[in-house]
């Protein structure tokens, strides 16, 4: 696969994750304004517990995007997804145990990160894309 096409695929994958992280920040700002500092911080770190491993997942998996690298892509996807889930769970537990957070707000941030990823993906893949020509 040409480096320019690989760069476009990687760029789109990173863009989706950064939009997800922006959704987490907006949710945290809303919690900060509506519920206070602890709630805003809790939502933010809860969202980052899922968002940051997702960023690492994209970095690991989308190195392999060519047809010749399909086996490597599938293996990286499988192990990357497993690693993302394990790291997310560990981060969530560490946050709840060691940081002064509200458990409910942290869970809202974690779930908000997951939902914002779905929303960004639905938006991204449902819009007409003129750059694929």
Alpha carbon distance 16, 62 (integer Å): 13
Q: Which residues of the chain have pLDDT under 50?
A: 132-133
| pLDDT score recorded for residue 133 | 43
| DSSP code string of 59-71 | HHHTT--SGGGHH
DSSP letter at 1 equals -
Alpha carbon distance 62, 84 (integer Å): 14
Residue 31 lies in a domain: yes
| pLDDT score recorded for residue 40 | 98
Residue 129 lies in a domain: no
Residue 42 lies in a domain: yes
Residue 133 lies in a domain: no
Q: Kindly state the helix (H) or strand (E) to which residue 55 belongs, with its residue range.
A: helix 37-61
pTM over 0.85: yes
> Domains in the chain: how many in total?
1
CA distances from 9 to 1, 4, 120, 121 (A): 11, 9, 16, 14
Structural domain for 27, as ranges: 3-123
Residue 132 lies in a domain: no
Residue 131 lies in a domain: no
Residue 100 lies in a domain: yes
Residue 76 lies in a domain: yes
| pLDDT score recorded for residue 96 | 97
């Amino acid at each position: 696969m040409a480096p320019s096409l690989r760069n476009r695929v990687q760029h789109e994958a990173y863009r989706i994750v950064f939009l997800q992280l922006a959704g987490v920040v907006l949710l945290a700002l809303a919690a900060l304004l509506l519920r206070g500092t602890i709630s805003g911080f809790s939502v933010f770190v809860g969202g980052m517990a899922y968002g940051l491993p997702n960023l690492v997942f994209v970095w690991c998996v989308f190195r392999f995007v060519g047809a010749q690298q399909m086996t490597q892509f599938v293996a990286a996807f499988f192990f990357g997804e497993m690693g993302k889930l394990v790291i997310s769970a560990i981060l969530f537990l560490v946050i709840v145990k060691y940081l002064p957070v509200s458990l409910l707000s942290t869970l809202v941030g974690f779930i908000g990160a997951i939902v914002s990823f779905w929303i960004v993906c639905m938006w991204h893949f449902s819009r007409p894309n003129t750059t694929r020509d």
